[in-house]
Amino acid sequence: MDLFKICPKCCGSANASIAHTVGTLIKVNVTCELCQHSYSWYSQPFLGSVPAGNLAVSSAILYSGALPTKVLRLMNFMNIPTISHQTFFNHQRHILYPAVLRFWKHQQMQHIAKYRDPTESLVLGGDGRADTPGHSAKYGSYSMMDLKQGVVLDIQLVQSNEVSSSNAMEKEGLIRSLKWFEDNNLQFQTLITDQHVQIVKFVREQTPHITHYFDVWHVAKGLKKKMVKISKEKDCKEVGEWIKSITNHMYWVAASTPNGDSEEMVSKWLSVANHVQNKHRGHSDQVANCLHGELVGHDRKKNWLKPGTKACVKTEELLTATRLKTSVEKLSPIHQTSDVEAFHSTINHFAPKMIGFSFHGMQCRLLLAALHFNENSARPQALTKDGVARYSIQFPKYKSGGYITREKKINQSFRYVNTLLRSIRKIVDVTTIRSTSEEPMPTPRPLCAAFTRPQKTDAIQAMKSRFRKAEI
């Protein structure tokens, strides 16, 4: 405030006072005692009618994937004047969200332009994500990824009250995504997903021209779970020793059949039911013998399952079950959906599960995760100053003490944030908050719209009388 005490016109003594603060903005009014010159000083410039510093806070929170409640509380604890939640949400809805949506659509169009060339065939991986663990999710999203390039092409957000139940969100997400591909005239023949029952049925019945494969990891995971269960039964402990080789066999079945021939895959698969009983010849017409050659050393002394024992019968039943055979028929031979899983963990950074977001907030965070993923997924390996490739050693919990070696990637980049910040300036130039006539995106009705809201006084009365009864 000392700096305002001298009049810039006559160098006389001036009176200055803080007129008001708006979020991070301070306005100071100054009047000269000598020459009466008066002026107002603002601590930050404006973008349109919006104080630039306030918008900087909102955009930094959203685009870094931080949570407004925590960041604003942090600033309060540090005694830094800042914006309110309401201001954040206004900025998000009218400025930040349109910027994200605009840039995302632009990026989508750039990607799909590549597939106009009919020789470039598209292999898609799809999977749904629920915003909370369990079966009562408010939002479900469906991601579609180009598995050849590792690029997220489309994401659809579904709110649970738009469909019959939380469970139906995944299928609805897929339907909307397929429509997006159709609207944009993008043809594809191959779709790889997990074995979500409704999706399998839908693709089989509604889109017979699409070849539907199952991600091997998901099928193997389901089988592993069942084998673990058997191994815990009485007299079945040895089944546990076979889990690893049997799931490895499943990966081999898929990988060794690049044309995805379902009969060949099933024949290869079934041979393992003989193999675990130390029987390696005469499996079937297509796959007469095991392909592993003469077993030597450790491999010979495996804990083979003895025919007729409970462990053997149960395992054989499991491995040859019709349901598993129909899954094996559709194992994806070349591409898998692990990149979609990786994208879903990127979403977790931008929209942690268990945090309730508004529809716009959720949509924004999904698209930001996609922008981030697409910019960073194909990062090259980092090099030392001398040009040697860098690796890191990690001790993941599931290895219980064991380690894995990973390529160290170069640092993540955030170029998309710079683009978004530039876009914000353009949007603010033509927007005044609260005066936008167009809704940025039609949003579904809130979940509670379907419920009857009681008179608050009645509700309080009911609660109080319940407590009184409890005391008696």
Residues found near Zn ion in the complex (CB under 5 A):
7, 9-10, 12, 32, 34-35, 37, 275, 280, 290
Close Cβ partners of 16 (under 8 Å, ≥ 6 residues apart)? 1, 4, 5, 28, 29, 30, 31
- CB of 97 vs Zn ion, minimal distance in Å: 47
- CB of 271 vs Zn ion, minimal distance in Å: 7
Comparing CB distances to Zn ion, the nearer of 89 and 252 is 252
Alpha carbons 328 and 125: distance in angstroms, whole number:
18
Q: Confirm if 364 and 92 have CB atoms less than 8 A apart.
A: yes
Comparing CB distances to Zn ion, the nearer of 147 and 266 is 266
- The first and second tokens of residue 434, run together, are 């609260």
- CB of 95 vs Zn ion, minimal distance in Å: 39
Instruction: Map residue 442 onto helix, strand or coil.
Output: coil
Close Cβ partners of 288 (under 8 Å, ≥ 6 residues apart)? 281, 282
- CB of 33 vs Zn ion, minimal distance in Å: 8
Q: Confirm if 359 and 366 have CB atoms less than 8 A apart.
A: no
- CB of 301 vs Zn ion, minimal distance in Å: 14
Comparing CB distances to Zn ion, the nearer of 15 and 381 is 15
Alpha carbons 466 and 371: distance in angstroms, whole number:
51
- CB of 6 vs Zn ion, minimal distance in Å: 9
- CB of 36 vs Zn ion, minimal distance in Å: 7
DSSP structural state of residue 331: B
The strands making up 14-22's β-sheet, listed across from edge to edge, are 14-22, 25-32, 38-42
Q: Confirm if 269 and 328 have CB atoms less than 8 A apart.
A: yes
Comparing CB distances to Zn ion, the nearer of 7 and 371 is 7
Comparing CB distances to Zn ion, the nearer of 297 and 396 is 297
Kindly list the distances between the CA atom of residue 467 and the CA atoms of 320, 454, 462, in Å, as whole numbers in the listed order.
59, 19, 9
Comparing CB distances to Zn ion, the nearer of 9 and 426 is 9
Return the bridge partners of 31, or none.
15, 38
User: How far from chain centre, in Å, is Cα 237?
Assistant: 38
> Length of the chain in residues, anyone?
472
Comparing CB distances to Zn ion, the nearer of 32 and 145 is 32
